[in-house]
Each structure stands twice: as C-alpha cells, then as structure tokens.
Structure 1
Amino acid sequence: METKEIAGVLKAPAPHMVGDGFRVHNFFPGGYKINMSPFFLMDYGSRIEFSARKEPRGVGVHPHRGFETVTIAYHGAIAHHDSSGNSGKIYPGDVQWMTAASGILHKEYHEQNYSLQGGPFQMVQLWVNLPAKFKMSKPKYQAVKQADMANFVLPENGGKIEIIAGNYQSIKGNASTFTHIELYNARLNKGGKAGFSFPANYNTGFMIIEGSVKINGKETTTANNFVHFKNEGTEISIEALENSIVLILSGEPINEPIAQYGPFLMNTEKEISEAISDYNQGKFGYLEE
C-alpha cells in the first residue's frame, strides 16, 4: 500500500466576520486555491471567547441553492431556522447537515442560553457541492447529535473516531450523502494512533482542531493548520503528540463546471441568473428575521 503524501501544511488565513457571530478563517476557496471537491468551501472558526449578551449574535436571513452546508460544533452552541420549517440547536460534538439543494432561506445564530452566558466558541462550516442532477432536489435537514454518532474505539486507549459520514473500519456514519464522502472527527488521546485509507483520486485534508499530531511518521503539525494531501497513494497514519482533535475530510471529486455567486453554487451562469430571479420572486419561501 502506498502512502498518501502531504501536499502542504496550510496556516489559517486572516480571519473575517460572517454576520456578528462567526469569526472564520476561509481556507478554501478564498485562502488557498486547492481542489477539495466535493467540498467547495471551508470556514474554520478558531477558538474565540464571546462575552455574554442578551441578543444572540449571528447571521440574518440569507438564501442558499445548489449545495449543502455542514456545521460542526466544538465549543459554544448554534441555533438555526430555515424556510422549510426546520429548526434545531447544536452543541459541542454535534453536526448540522443542511441540504439547501433547490433553495431555502436560512438564518443561524448563537443559541440563547450560550449567548446569555458567553464563553468559548469554535466551529467548522463546510459547503458540500451537489452534482448537477441533484442540485434542484428537495431541501432536507439531518441533525447528527454526538450522543448518537457512530464511532470506532481505537486500541490501547488511543481515543475514538467519530464517523459523521462515510465508513471507517466497516462502521457507517449517520449522515446520508449524494456522493462518496468520508467525514470524521478523530478524537485522539496522547500517544493515540489511527490509520486511514482513501482512494488515490479522493481530495483529502485534515483540519487540526486541537493539539498536535505527527502524520505519516514524519510531519508534525499543530492546531489551526490544515493538512492537504496529494492525489496519489491511499494510506495515511496519524499519531497524537498530546490530546488532539482532527477533522478528517476526503471525498470523490465532482468533475463538473462550477458557477458561484454568493450563496448560490450551480453549474452555469444561466442557472445563477435563475437562482437570483427565483429568490427575488419569493420562490425560496419566507423566513422571519
């Protein structure tokens, strides 16, 4: 078996605010021009302390079409509502998987009790592209609570691999996906080791959330860095040098043209124009601010 070598260790780009509640580092497509399809975007919210506040911070009503948003909470709590009538709250360890597809309105903000108390906040949001044949499918929502998450316990008290989507050691993740996606949280104790095997053509990256790790027995990297792998070889090994959390992303690329405008991710400029027109005509439904 051939090792999947590291293409680069990417430092967190300068942060920016999304609304007044999410301070994020956009690793791609803005910060680095890397191909991570089917993952189109990754906003990493490094750990920050928010002061207590009565009125929750967040992002007001905005549209989405053509993709899915996947929000993974590590510290803090997030509430959301959409125009399909879905709403939910996610707490540390939980995942919110929203399929916008044909189009919805959405808002997300700090959960009320967290907002009143303040405290540490850390999260990741991914935009997962959809193939053309699924872009106009019906919106849906998957709540993946940590308590219900499939996981594989590593030997020798090494920690565990939480399987959000995909398959690890024959254990299947809870979330259903439109393309082949592997998405895990590796929660490693100091000295814990794990191995991963992904097809050579899958786009693969590791977001180091906490701690420090050694990858493939040679490269050491620490929290807030993103490790991007080459599209060759299949095997990756990881060892935790201290208690660590690593978000594992790997997926089969969607080899289709991309047209993007703000919160719309389609295949052609014509489809972008249609999305804007449909939004302006109120076809995405209604959601109160």
Structure 2
Amino acid sequence: MEAKIKTVSAILNAPAPHMVGDGFRVHNFFPKGYKIKMSPFFMLDYNSRIEFSARNAPRGVGVHPHRGFETVTIAYHGAVAHHDSAGNSGVIYPGDVQWMTAGSGILHKEYHEEAFSKKGGAFQMVQLWVNLPAKNKMTTPKYQEVKHSDIARYKLDDEAGMIEVIAGEYNETKGSASTFTPLNLLNARLNKGGKAYFDFPAEYNTGFMIIEGSVKINGTEIAKTDQFVHFKNEGTAIEAEALENSIVLILSGEPINEPIAQYGPFLMNKPEEIQEAINDYNQGKFGYLDE
C-alpha cells in the first residue's frame, strides 16, 4: 500500500527581522511570526545569512535566564561562543549543533567567537526552542555538544546528497542528540537534481526551513532560500527534489498536548510556575554568570 502524501499547508516567507542583542538578526517564524502548530518546537529564530563587519568587541547577547525547555543552536556560517552559570563554555562552528537543556534553570550568554568577530564575514544560524513535557521541565540542566564531524550521516542513492541526523532517525540511521519526546531534526544537504524521501507520522508537526537553494516539494510546490514549508497533519510521505544545491533543515515531532504558560525566557505549564521562575531567578537560584 502506497503511503499517503503529507501535503503542504503553507510556504511562509521570512517575517521582518529583529535584533536579539547586537549579534543576531533573526526572523521569528513562530510563535510570533506565524500561528502554526509546531509543538514540540515552540520557537524558530532564523538568522538568515548576513555579512558582519570586523569588530574587536564581539557582538552578542548578554546574560539571560532560561527554564522549562531546551535551546538548540545550529550553525551554518560564522561562530558563536557561549558560557553558562554551571561553568560550561564552548564554541559552535559551522556544521556544529549545541543542544542545551535549560530544565530547572540556567543563566546563559552567547557572543560571536573572538577570531570570527575580528575578521568578520558571513553569519547564518538557527535557534530552536524545544518544549519539555511537564514531568521534565525541572530536570537538571545539561549540554549536548554535537560537533559536525560526529553527526550521523545517511548517504542518499544516485549522488543525491546526504542526510545529517541531529536527532531522531532517518532510514534507521540514528542521531546522537537525545530528546525527551519523540522528534526528528535533520539537515538535508542535497545536490542539484537530488531527491530525498521522508516518512513522518501523520500527527507529527512537520516543517522544512530552506537554508540554502530551492526545492520542489511533492513534485508541485517550490520553496526557496529563507522560506519555511509547513505541512498539514495528514499523510506521512514527503518528496523533496533539489532544484539547485540546497540545504534544508527538517523538523518533525510528536506534539506535547499540555497547557503552555510563557513569559520571556521561561516556558512552563501554569502562570504560577512562571511566577515561581521569576522569584527563583531574582533570588539567585539560577546561579551566577559574569557579564
């Protein structure tokens, strides 16, 4: 029996950009840009490719708290250095992924890596907020540093390209990042004319972020650089054909059907949990991090 096509709901243009700190010029596709169902993914901030001039003092975002979810940062161009209140630090280079579980609470800051800042150049990133179910919202904070060299890869037939499996799986190739709920996060690096086939459960919320190039979806719809393809919750099969060399970030996950209470960098289930997060932050329970 042939799988039913997962049809396109909409092809969305990038919303007007805004600055996060002075280092990230982002298009917020959701939840503010478009009201689309993408749980367990709560937010997609897309830093479309931009050229930053050389600068001695690195641009970035100062100290800020998080609780109740995970941040996933994927680098395509440029480099970002990060520090947190648990003493963790590192650099995210092109192709790398940083998966930070904020859980019960952490302070964090992110800046352009020093050498990149002094040289300047192309900068392109994605940051996702992945919601945590109620039972895991207060889990101990942790990091998963996924270096590009360590990402699981599935080579497509006919020189079509490569699927990088960050989390979840593709054709039995499993990603190295662990998740709290079932989801797939993939980078499809497709050569011109190459085709890739995907199969996600009908109820999974699914979207494609076109990072580079242009692709034809299911033989009909064309999506181009900086557009987001949102799919309906029906059918399972998707075909993507690269009309030129392309990179597509693929998100698909089982929705978390729980109430959401959000205030700034806190993502909880109830308003009283937001107030508790604010109180804990003000009382220094998230630790300390130098500006």
TM-score by length of 1: 1.00
Please state how far the C-alpha of 1:200 moved relative to its aligned partner. Answer: 0.3
1:189 and 1:93 map into 2 onto residues whose CA distance is 17
Cα distance in 1, alignment partners of residues 193 and 149 from structure 2: 25
Q: In 1, distance between residues paired with 2:99 and 2:206?
A: 20
The answer to whether structure 1 residue 70 and structure 2 residue 82 are counterparts is no
Counterpart of 1:210 in structure 2 is 212
- Aligned Cα root-mean-square deviation (Å): 0.4
Matching residue's letter, 1:219:
E
Measure the CA separation in 1 of the matches of 2:67 and 2:147.
25
Displacement of 1:88: 1.0
Q: Which residue of 2 is the match for residue 100 of structure 1?
A: 102
| 1:272 alignment counterpart | 274
1:73-114: CA deviation from partner (whole Å, max 9, x where unpaired):
000000101111111111111000000000000000100110
Q: d(CA) in 1 for partners of 2:204 and 2:89?
A: 33
Identity of aligned residues (%): 76
Per the alignment, residue 176 of structure 2 pairs with 174
Instruction: Give the SS at the match of 2:208.
Output: strand
Q: How far apart are the structure 2 equivalents of 1:243 and 1:137?
A: 40
For the residue of structure 2 that corresponds to 1:275, the secondary structure is: helix
Structure-1 residue corresponding to 2:258: 256
CA separation in 1, counterparts of 2:191 and 2:62? 38
User: CA–CA distance in 1 between the matches of 2:290 and 2:143?
Assistant: 19
Give how far 1:133 is off.
Answer: 0.2
Question: Using the alignment, how far apart are the partners of 2:277 and 2:193 within structure 1?
Answer: 50
The amino acid of 2:244's aligned partner reads E
Equivalent of 2:35 in 26, 33, 39:
33
Per-residue deviation, 1:221: 1.3
Mapping 1:1-289, distance limit 5 Å: 1-289=3-291
Tell me the secondary structure at the aligned position of residue 213 of structure 1.
strand
Deviations 1:150-204 (A, max 9, x none): 0000111111000000010101001000000100000001011100000000000
Aligned AA for 1:167?
E
**TM superposition shift of 1:281:** 0.1
> Secondary structure, in 3 states, of the residue corresponding to 1:108?
strand
What is the distance in 1 between the residues matched to 2:65 and 2:242?
40
Q: State the 1:54 CA deviation.
A: 0.5
Instruction: Please state how far the C-alpha of 1:262 moved relative to its aligned partner.
Output: 0.1
Q: Counterparts of 2:26 and 2:165 in 1: how far apart (Å)?
A: 24
Equivalent pairs counted in the alignment come to 289
The one-letter amino acid of 2:42's match is F
**Distance apart, 1:58 and its partner CA:** 0.1
> How far is the alpha carbon of 1:35 from its aligned partner?
1.1
Q: What letter is aligned with 2:257?
A: N
Looking at structure 1, the residues matched to 196 and 206 of structure 2 have their Cα atoms a distance apart, in angstroms, of: 16
Q: Return the alpha-carbon distance in structure 2 between the equivalents of residues 10 and 41 of structure 1.
A: 15
**C-alpha displacement at 1:117, in angstroms?**
0.3
The 4+ residue runs of structure 1 with deviation greater than 4 A are none
Q: Which amino acid in 1 is paired with 2:148?
A: Q
Distance 1:193 1:6 in 2: 17
